[in-house]
Amino acid sequence: MGKAALGTLLKIQDDATATLFNTVGGVENISGPGLSLDMAETTDHDSTWEEMVPTILRTGEITFDINLDQNSETTHQTLLTRLKNKTNKVAQIVFPDDGTTTWEFAGYVTGFNPTMNTPDKLTAAITFKPTGVPTLDLA
């Protein structure tokens, strides 16, 4: 049986205190990061089948949609500032299983795409690109 996604949190490291994480308010959808392994072909002329070796592990982007709200703990202005300043911060995805499963990534806000459709609410699609080794705790 599957689990409901409701209650998943996205947190981003505080600017002043590295050990404090602020929950991004108004998050509607979170996607990613995809994880993949690059492969290099090592087939030589003596081979009858292709031969491969694993090379680099990669993290895909994390994308999430937010309601633009200046009153949230981590406002859209904070995300825009981190994009503009190319600030490397840690993000966490806290799964809705009593907080026992948390994925943590250092990285950068690389995209901020606001949507202002009439008569809908103000939203933005945010992209966060991890860099380095992630911590993938699976409970």
**How do residues 74-132 score in pLDDT, each as one tens digit?**
677 888 899 999 999 999 999 998 768 899 999 999 999 988 887 888 889 999 999 99
- Exposure string of 61-92, with b = 16+ CB inside 10 Å and e = fewer, is bbbbbbebeeebebbbebbeebbeeeeebbbb
Annotated domain spans of the chain: 9-33+61-136
Q: Among candidates 80, 85, 132, which has minimal Cα distance to 106?
A: 132
Q: Does domain 9-33+61-136 have CATH number 3.20.20.140?
A: no
What's the predicted TM-score (pTM) here? 0.82
User: How far is the C-alpha of 31 from the C-alpha of 100, rounded, in Å?
Assistant: 19
**How do residues 7-20 score in pLDDT, each as one tens digit?**
899 999 988 888 89
